[in-house]
Chain A
Amino acid sequence: MTAAGRRLDFWWALEAAAAWLLALLWLAPLLYAFWAAFHPPEYATRFVLGAPLTLANFFEAWSQAPFARYFLNTFLLVTSILAAQFVLCTLAGYAFARFAFPGRDLAFALVLVQLMIMPEVLIVENYRTMSRLGLVDTIAGIGLPYMASAFGIFLLRQTFKTIPEELEEAARVEGCSMLQILWKVYVPLARPTYVAYGLVSVSYHWNNFLWPLVITNSVETRPLTVGLAIFGAPESGVDWSVITAGTLLAVAPLLLAFLLFQRQFVQSFMYAGIK
């Protein structure tokens, strides 16, 4: 091997080591959470090889906070938002992609405003609206501001625009109505967009905190993130190991899904970002 080649190899090995070190650093918080959650509390801050393993922290966490209810709330929240987003964004995206109506460009610009001014920024005024509608402390109240998503409308409009109009003509000749065309031609062809948008939306709303915190005030409506924040507050007097166990419980479904469908997740975030 030449000297230059050996020098190149050395730099390459160094770079690989740096990349791995950074990866380890990036995983460290999660690795620590696993350590603390699966060991008895006295080992929470002592890292000894061969410390006994236990599941007691998980049982403790599960019994100290209504996690089952929180899971149900988050599940209801995420699915209802996703279902509404799919319907609303499909209809609006189709309108923008294939219909010429007066004021279309202005309407589209007004939709895009939401990309910049997200519901999080408008918590004060939206809270007033919700209390006028009597929707404070309901799951619908958490979800409503997010259901018409500018991001979803934009993504689906872009996708629908790439579908050849001849397909629509053909379906019309076959006697399909407008909604049938949408359902039988456009929606199936836009499947990858739905998958990508769905994954991004689910992870966003599974993790969302500020607005749910503002609008909920009871166990019956609180999603996992808000429940976890109350559970982990120092005032609650719960010890480290139990808090980390609760934290892992809360992130487990999403983390598991991510580990299983890693490629799909990464590609979805990529796809949604490039559009």
Chain B
Amino acid sequence: MTDPLRREFGSRAKDPVLRRNLLRATDTSNAHRAAAAAERADWEELRSRGAAIRDHTLARLDDYLAEFIRSVEARGGRVHAARDAPAARRIVTGIARRKGATRILKSKSMATEEVELNRAFERLGFEPLETDLGEYIVQLAGEAPSHITAPALHRSAEEIRDLFLARGVLPPGDRPPADRAGLARWLSLAARRHLAPRLREADLGITGANFLVAETGTVVLVENEGNIRFTTTTPPAQVVLAGVEKIVPRLADLAVLLPLLVRSATGQRFPGTVSLISGPVSESLDIVLLDNRRTAALADPGDREILRCIRCGACLNVCPVYRTAGGHAWGSPYPGPIGSLLTPLLSTRDADRALPHASSLCGACSEVCPVRIPIVDHLLRLRARAAAAGSPASPGPLAIRVFSYLARDPRRYERATWLLRRFWGIALRAGLMKRWTRYRDAPSPAARTFRELWRDDGPPAR
């Protein structure tokens, strides 16, 4: 890992409250996911089907995108292409301005996080209301979401209680119960009451999309809280921002992809609510298709495989690095193992190319991925790509060059091992090895080398 990366992950790993919150939440999610996967006898076959549908679609995305656009336009909806994040912000805020919209409802969407849509709105003087409870919590706290499907997973109920008291979601003097489950319930219901009037009067609704169906121009939205239904039915105008890779060919494909998504994300048999929206069902529908380097990723068969991702978040929950440092360490809307792959593909920041190093390569992510993305293989591939591009600086190659120089000559090698044994203890005591020994042992070299043993004692007895 590079130094900035080490700081981001290292400092968070030392926060005991964060650590406890992360373990509690991800342990629960992992147990639910495992039970939901075990319950379906055809789970492995379903994963293969899901992977095949995604592969097929991505390889023919030109045809399916064209079909999707035709289908939406035939129903009276408008489709826009956003080449990058600034273009996406310009298009969406432009629509809001033309509609004269000031009361904006927003549902949780990774694409809107990716383009930092809310900041663009704040610069114009209004704040879209995040209607998903977890997203509302991080919005109140002025934070970024730390998980793809559970944005406030890094916060304890006590922290959220203090936030709600400070921001007036709980009336002053309110005395919520102290036990964890009772408190979580109290806070969730307080947010429901607080937001109810605002959900029933609005000018514009902005959502992402879980899937976009080519044959029918359908926007598919998955949720549990009912907030997406408010976002898509209260305001007269609806805007959808989604990555171009969200396309699936037919409605029938949802019979494979929805169970994969929801069982992996929350362990439910079916989501609380799924909405299928074909064309403008209120006054207007604008769908903004986000490229932001996705088409460049399509050109490489390996990178294309990463775009299979259906954003369930299962790989985050099982990842030991995520469970230790939390999602904010990635500094990207896409954290965790899949974030270490997606972020370098979608971002232009140099530092993000080091993210594939934020992994122990244990392979838990590849095992749970519902669309069988071989995440570990791609982490290694992107590491190699970053190394070939000369960034980030890694001590590995230099160490190998030094070793190879010493090992090529027996006398040189002997002298080096003598020096090493001589000064090893001094180096350790002087703290020169601190960056290594902070997390690992530094075993002392043997008192006598193999060559000395051979020379002095002769060959070992049979």
Partners in one complex: no
